[in-house]
Structure 1
Amino acid sequence: MIPYGKHDISQLDIDAVLTVLKSDFLTQGPMVPRFEQAVAEKVGARHALAVNSATSALHIACLALGLGEGDWLWTTPITFVASANCGRYCGARVDFVDIDTRTYNLCPQALAAKLERAETEGRLPKVVVAVHLCGQPCDMQAIHALGQRFGFRIIEDASHAIGGKYQGDYIGSGRYSDITVFSFHPVKIITTAEGGMALTNDDALAQRMDLLRSHGVTRDPALMTHEADGLWYYQQIDLGYNYRMTELQAALGLTQLERLDDYVARRNALAERYDAALAELPVTTPWQRPDSVSGRHLYVIRLKRDRVTPTHRQVFERLREQGIGVNLHYIPVHTQPYYREFDFKSGDFPAAEAYYAEAISLPMYPTMTHAQQDEVVRALTNALEVT
């Protein structure tokens, strides 16, 4: 089976983790701060807070922005459910904005129209989560301008996008958002096994997320409500969570980060090779923003259904039968049983649903060989019944 994604672990990674295993700290030691500083410096952010998953990062980001009961969080329906669930964790209501038909990201024009309607109805969002699907950034300048006009805060869900760039800046620099979130899951661009990170240029947001990721407990006298009883003293000043990253994960992240640019370059080279190889097939290949560099976490094609005899499901299943580990990113969140309980239904976001009916994620990862890629193309040609 050729998987849709695969991590790359080198001897350098293994040695780094072994060094931590032999050290005095497996958690809450020097490696996590080093990893945070390295990522912050790489992308040009002031603060980076490492946590145990991108989902945890989304949660504390929402909490730090004050999202709560009675508030609205808006995001795209084409994303993993965590981009919406983070709002529900805070007791907020969740709504969606349809996608752009070229990038498959949240559409700024659809967002503007929905905001104008929401303003008259008194239900503007407090937070908008802009998801950089497949590693390609959203039109953040347009979304930021709408945020300034309508007063919402912005989280960039860049779980797919570390190493990419928007208008010359690394994604994560925070030029057009309050908080950016990265994922370090094994199929992502770099990995810490499980893990995530929240980045911000706002000192107060960083302080709040730092507190929330570790039980709401502090040893900082400046944050305590009264004088410490002794050197052992700590205070819980908020209801926080155990979302900390381990030293082992951070050590792995540091060595992976050294290869970030190489990984992104390799993914882009493989994507360009796919573009050429698939040019004559009845599929739509990914369009790329001219002002950006995608992290290329995923390579998603769309079937041209008017030119393809087999059904979407048949093409997918035929690829799997030939040993090609295709996937589908993603099932529209509003069609999930949990969200249907909030009166969402099929037909609410037609562009997202049309995408879902045609999309297939082809295998792509840095260690993929040209021979493996050629095998994917051959299998796809067969599955499409192209002669």
Structure 2
Amino acid sequence: MIPYGRQDISEEDRAAVDAVLRSDFLTQGPAVPRFEEALAARVGASHAVAVNSATSALHMAVAALGLGQGDLLWTTPITFVASANCGRYCGADVDFVDIDPETFNMCADALEAKLAIAEAAGRLPKVIVPVHMCGQSPDMIRIGALARRYGVRVVEDASHAIGADYDGKPVGDCAHSDVTVFSFHPVKIITTAEGGLATTNDPALAERMALLRSHGITRDDALMTEPSHGPWYYQQIDLGWNYRMTEMQAALGLSQLSRLDPFVARRRALADRYDNALQEMPLSIPGRDPKADSAWHLYVIRLHDKTRHRAVFERLRDAGIGVNLHYIPVHLQPYYKAFGFAEGDFPQSEDYYARAISIPLYAGLSDAMQDEVIAALTEALS
């Protein structure tokens, strides 16, 4: 089986983790801050806060922005459920903005129209979470400008997009947002096994996120409510969580980060090969925004004939091609349908779901393996 995604672990990666296992610290040691500093420098952000998953990073980020009971968070239906669930964790309501059918990202036109309606109704969102679907940035220039106009905070869910560029700069520099979140799950572009990280240029926001990831506990005298009792002393000054990243994860991430550029270059080359090979097939290849240079976490095709969707998917699986579908529209999940969402609410997202198939794409995919995928797709469509 050729999987849709797979980690690439080197001997250097194994050695980095082994060195931590032989050290004095397995958690809360020097590796995590080193990883944070290196990744912040790589994307051009002032601060980075590493955690145990991108889901934790999303929750931590929106909580640090003050999202709470009675507030509203907007995201896109075509994403993993965590992009919406982070709002629910804070007690906020969640709504969605439909996608651009070419890029699969939050449509800036739809966002602009929905914000105008929301302002007139007196029910603007507190936070917007645009998703970098497949590794390509949304139209963050427009989204950021709209957010500033309406006084809305922005958390970029760039779980797919470490190594991507937008408007000539690395995704993660937070030029158009308050926070950017990355994922390091094994199928992502670099991995820490599980893990996530949030970048920001706001020092107060970085401090708040760092507090929340570790139980709301501080040893900083400046943050305490009374003088320290001694060198053992700490205070819990807020209700946080244990979202800390381990030293082993950080060491693996730091080692993987050294290969980010070749990983992304290989993914881009493979995406170009797919573009060239699939042009004459009865399907649509992913659209490319000229301002965005995708990191290509996923390569999603859309069949012209949606009546053959399941049959083509199953024929590919039967042929040993580990295709997948990213994603089922979040508003059609039973949990969200219970809030009143229904089929027909976001037609572009629903049409995408009826046609989309994620085909294999990862740095270790050889040209020969990719040719096998293309041949199987040709056969399945014939």
Same fold (TM over 0.5): yes
1:349 equivalent in structure 2: 346
Give the C-alpha shift of residue 291 in structure 1: 1.5
Number of equivalenced pairs: 382
Hey, what does 2:374 align to over in structure 1?
Answer: 377
Query: Partner letter of residue 201 of structure 2?
Result: N
Work out the CA distance in 2 between the residues paired with 1:138 and 1:157. Answer: 10
Matched position secondary structure for 1:239: coil
RMSD, aligned CA: 0.7
Q: Distance in 2 between matches of 1:223 and 1:6?
A: 43
- Corresponding residue of 1:158: 158
The Cα shift of 1:117 comes to 0.7
The aligned residue for residue 364 of structure 2 is: 367
Q: Paired residue for 1:29? A: 29
Cα distance in 2 between the residues matched to 1:36 and 1:114: 36
Alpha-carbon displacement from aligned partner over 1:35-61 (angstroms, at most 9, x marks no partner): 000000000000000000000000010
Matched ranges for 1:186-197 at <5 A: 186-197=186-197
Partners of 1:233 and 1:118 in 2: how far apart? 47
Matches within 5 A, 1:167-182: 167-182=167-182
Aligned residue for 1:131, secondary structure, equals coil
What is the one-letter code of the residue matched to 1:89?
Answer: Y
Q: Distance in 1 between matches of 2:87 and 2:251?
A: 31
Flag structure 2 segments of 5+ consecutive residues without an equivalent.
Answer: none
2:329 matched residue in structure 1: 332
Give the whole-Å Cα distance in 2 for the aligned partners of 1:51 and 1:121: 37
Indicate the residue corresponding to 1:93 in structure 2. Answer: 93
Counterpart amino acid of residue 338 in structure 1: Y
Structure 1's consecutive aligned runs of 4 or more residues displaced over 4 angstroms after TM superposition are none
1:135-177 CA distances to partner (integer Å, 9 max, x unpaired)? 0000000001111111100000000000000011100001000
1:216 counterpart = 2:216: yes
SS in structure 2 opposite 1:109?
A: helix
Q: What is the CA deviation profile of residues 101-149 of structure 1, one whole-angstrom value per residue up to 9, with x for unaligned ones?
A: 1111000000011111111111100000010000000000000111111
Shift of 1:62: 0.5
Give the distance between the partners of 1:229 and 1:117, measured in 2 at CA: 54
Please give the residue correspondences for 1:6-25 in structure 2 after superposition, counting only pairs within 5 Å.
6-25=6-25
1:313 matched to 2:327? The reply is no
Provide the C-alpha distance between the structure 1 equivalents of 2:216 and 2:11, rounded to a whole number of angstroms: 37
Secondary structure, aligned partner of 1:34:
helix
CA distance in 2, matches of 1:118, 1:9: 47
Q: Which amino acid aligns with 1:321?
A: D
TM-score, scaled relative to structure 2: 0.99
Matches within 5 A, 1:264-283: 264-283=264-283
Aligned-partner Cα distance in 1 for 2:346–2:362:
31
For structure 1, the 5+ residue unaligned runs are none
Residue identity matched to 2:356: A
* C-alpha distance after superposition, 1:243-296 (max 9, x if no partner): 000000000000100000111100000000011111111110111111121010
Is 1:52 aligned to residue 49 of structure 2?
no
Quote the Cα distance in structure 2 between the aligned partners of 1:336 and 1:190.
Answer: 29
Q: Distance in 2 between matches of 1:351 and 1:280?
A: 24
Identity rate of aligned residues, in percent?
Answer: 68
Partner of 2:284: 284
For 1:319, the aligned partner's letter is L
Amino acid in structure 1 at the alignment position of 2:86: C
Deviations 1:179-220 (A, max 9, x none): 000000000000000000010000110010000000000000
Tell me the distance in 1 between the aligned counterparts of 2:176 and 2:353: 29
TM-score by length of 1: 0.98
